[in-house]
Copies of this chain bind each other. A is one copy, B any other.
Amino acid sequence: MLQVDLNSDLGESFGVYTLGNDEAVLESVTSANVAAGFHAGDPVVLLKTVRLAKKAGVAVGAHPGHADLAGFGRRAIPCSPEEVYAGILYQIGAVQAACRAEGLDLQHVKAHGALYNQAAKDPDLARAIARAVRDAGEGLILMGLANSLFEQAAAEVGVPYAAEAFADRAYEPDGSLVSRKKEGAILHDADHAAARVLRMLKEGVVKAIDGSEISLRPKTICLHGDTPEAVEMARKLRRKLEDEGVVIRPLKEVLYR
């Protein structure tokens, strides 16, 4: 059976500032990465997002990032493993408490933005994140870029791991994501994106920006919901995958059932 989880970053509004259309994107995904208040979100938004996910039957994950609202967590702020460990633990705890209050179990943890990219290439940071996920308890799943150092770190530290792939992002030949600043970094065609995801699931392969092929076996696919176009693309992508017989379900089910 072909199966996969669809995840999206949610809860990124802050105070009077609104970002994304969380309610709409929750209709298309099975796992929500809820911003933990450092790169985006605030306690009220976080709790509201957890409640929306619960109502939509979507599994909740924590989406910790750099404490960098001004840069939306997209700036590679230099950091030590100790700082990352403490910061991730803090943010996981904050989302866990919201889940507990709502009677939910936190499912997974996925680092955000620059921190995700830094850790994907830095073994010490990847391990720091994996350790925080382990020490926060509850059998949390670490979600990380396929073929990155997250995988190794999860194995070393002993936490469940789920490789992530991106439906709408181009890949460098080494498996990292093409920077958002480069042309062609973002894919806009849902058919093309769906075909890429299908090939990942069926053949374990995706084509990099230079035409070379990368092996990857994603358990979860990241979608976006920050623009109306992104929401529409998420919707189409899910439909296409389902039309092809792919079972879309939360990460925990993909991994364990």
Contact with B along A67-105 (1 / 0, CB 8 A): 101111001111100110111011111111110110000
Copies in the complex: 4
B100 lies within 8 A of A137 (CB): yes
B19 lies within 8 A of A86 (CB): no
A92 lies within 8 A of B83 (CB): no
B94 lies within 8 A of A98 (CB): no
A71 to B37, CA, bound (A): 15
Q: Kindly identify which residue among B70, B82, B86, B93 contacts A67, using a CB–CB cutoff of 8 Å.
A: B70
A77 to B74, CA, bound (A): 11
Contact with B along A109-135 (1 / 0, CB 8 A): 000000000000000000000001001
Segment of A39-47, A217-225, A246-254 in the binding face: A39-47
A43 to B90, CA, bound (A): 6
A100 to B131, CA, bound (A): 13
Interface size bucket, A side?
Answer: 35 or more
Contact with B along A135-149 (1 / 0, CB 8 A): 111000000000000
Q: Does A211 contact B (CB under 8 A)?
A: no
Q: Does A256 contact B (CB under 8 A)?
A: no
Residues of B within 8 A of A47 (CB): 85-86, 89-90
A17 to B76, CA, bound (A): 19
A207 to B72, CA, bound (A): 43
Q: Does A1 contact B (CB under 8 A)?
A: no
The 3 nearest A-B residue pairs measured at CB: A93-B97, A17-B17, A101-B135
Residues of A at the B interface (CB closer than 8 Å) are 14-19, 37, 42-44, 46-47, 67, 69-72, 75-79, 82-83, 85-87, 89-98, 100-101, 132, 135-137
Could you list 14 further interchain pairs (A-B, Cβ under 8 angstroms) beyond the known A16-B72, A17-B19?
Answer: A15-B70, A17-B18, A43-B90, A44-B86, A47-B90, A76-B78, A89-B97, A89-B101, A90-B94, A91-B94, A94-B97, A97-B136, A100-B137, A101-B132
